[in-house]
Amino acid sequence: MAGPRPTPTGRASPFADDEIIVTKTDPRGRILYANETFLAVSRLTLAEALGQPHSIVRHPDMPRCIFEVMWKTIGAGGEFFGYVKNMATNGDHYWVFAHVTPSRDAAGTVTGFHSNRRKPDEAQVARIAPLYQRLLEA
């Protein structure tokens, strides 16, 4: 994606309950694979997504400390589960419940990361959003 980051619109990007967003990254978080759902919801083309840092979809409402916890967890070989608010290229947002795991080669070396995201329950988002706002303010 070229150009400046979009301004958040406050509108939700369409994302169905039965859809799963899938991406794979290299060890530095650069996108190597993105499924059609990711491309549709983020409004990126495959050419725009490939090679870009996954933070290309980061919403400014997301506290940095959530990503610090994620990177510490997956960097140590663990799995991360968390609620994330992302932003499409037009400024629309989409909440996901993310599951991020390390990808390993036959020798067990981490070669990147695999992430599956589902649409979260709206009641959970209603609980998480104010907490994230307080974390941003802190």
| Percent of the chain's residues with pLDDT above 90 | 93
Counted domains in the chain: 1
In a domain, residue 60? The reply is: yes
In a domain, residue 6? The reply is: no
**Angle in degrees, CA 131, 30, 67, rounded to 5:** 20
- DSSP letter at 80 equals E
Quote the CA–CA distance of 124 and 84 in Å, as a whole number: 11
Quote the CA–CA distance of 44 and 34 in Å, as a whole number: 10
In a domain, residue 7? The reply is: no
In a domain, residue 61? The reply is: yes
In a domain, residue 45? The reply is: yes
Contact 133, 113 (CB under 8 A): no
Contact 87, 56 (CB under 8 A): no
pLDDT tens per residue across span 20-56: 999 999 999 999 999 999 999 999 999 999 999 999 9
In a domain, residue 73? The reply is: yes
Find the CATH number of the domain harbouring 124: 3.30.450.20
Contact 96, 24 (CB under 8 A): no
The residue segments making up the domain with residue 24 are 20-137
In a domain, residue 94? The reply is: yes
In a domain, residue 9? The reply is: no
Confidence of residue 5 (pLDDT cuts 50, 70, 90): confident
